Amino acid sequence: MMNGFSYEGSLCRPPTEAHSLVLQVTVGCPYNRCAFCADYKGELYKVKPWDVIASDIRKARESLGDGVKRVFLASGNSIAAPADLLLQTLGHLYQAFPYLEQVSIYGGAKFLKKKDDSTLLALQGAGLNKIYMGVESGNDQVLQEMKKGVTAAETLAQARRVKGVGMALSSTIIFGLGGKARSRQHATATAQLLSAMQPDELRLHTLMMHPKAPLYERIERGDFQLLYRGDVLREMYEFFSQLQASCHVISHRSNYLLLAGYLPKDRQDFLETIKQALTREGEEALEREGLLQEELSRVL
């Protein structure tokens, strides 16, 4: 964070944007109802005024020079901001940073569908070239219970629109989101959805709970049963057994098993590693290598 930068509230970004300039164009999340998420609870969503955004771009240029290559537009689902504001922001960014290669943003299907094709194409043409889309699950019952606000079919339709205008698509899924009751259905349907979507990047998460997340109350009441490590690994195996995609795979630190590589090239290696992690000898070897984590080592 730079001195004088006007960050407000929770500032979330994908781990893959750790070395990017984070420019906040919205505060909070325009939806903020997902049962598993606590990131923006208690925060009112708002779009930041243009003069504040322009001032932050100017300060970033003064602090960092013109060599910035990556920018992430925060915060949650900032794709919901008015198209004119996003286009104006993109124009100023590319003017301030002539070596800029990537501008990315969180864009859930619920808000992407509110941007028509001409708007998406205009945003891509102005330099918005990567969308981070939270898919979470491909099972409609899981999505409904988690109050995601979209169906699997709606997610697929928006993913195809993103790729259709030439933007890179990074998709997140969450192992364990179906709990013990729907683990197999969650794995199968999510693999089917991702196979149809064909994202450029697949980011793996495993469910972890914050007390502010609405799902936490269900867990406390016993209405939702979390998966133990072995259960999650078996769900991962089911998912990768059925997934047919060509993409970069990245593991978040919430995962028990930290898989990374490219599909389909590394698919069999993933499956073998998961099977190894389910044996006592393999578990110990993978823990020594830092690829398999204990519960207390995971990061939300």
Q: From residue 116, give the alpha-carbon distance in Å to each of 4, 104, 169, 281.
A: 36, 18, 17, 53
Q: From residue 96, give the alpha-carbon distance in Å to each of 54, 67, 74, 90, 191.
A: 10, 9, 18, 10, 41
Query: In which order are the strands placed within the sheet that holds 201-206?
Result: 21-24, 70-74, 102-106, 130-136, 168-175, 201-206, 247-251, 261-263
Could you tell me the residue range of the domain that residue 183 belongs to?
Answer: 15-290
Q: What is the largest CA-CA distance in the chain?
A: 59
Residue 285 lies in a domain: yes
**259 touches 273 (CB < 8 A):** yes
Q: How many domains does the chain have?
A: 1
Residue 7 lies in a domain: no
Residues of the chain with pLDDT under 70: 1-4
Q: What is the pLDDT of residue 1?
A: 42
Residue 155 lies in a domain: yes
Residue 295 lies in a domain: no
Q: Is the pTM of this model over 0.85?
A: yes
Q: What is the pLDDT of residue 6?
A: 84
Q: What is the pLDDT of residues 72-116, one digit of tens each?
A: 999 999 999 999 999 999 999 999 999 999 999 999 999 999 999
CATH assignment of the domain containing 145: 3.20.20.70
Residue 242 lies in a domain: yes
Q: What is the pLDDT of residues 11-54, one digit of tens each?
A: 889 999 999 999 999 999 999 999 999 999 889 999 999 999 99
Q: From residue 247, give the alpha-carbon distance in Å to each of 16, 111, 261, 264, 278.
A: 15, 24, 9, 8, 25
Residue 8 lies in a domain: no
CA separation for the pair 167, 152 (Å, rounded): 20
Q: What is the pLDDT of residue 9?
A: 85
Residue 10 lies in a domain: no
Residue 29 lies in a domain: yes
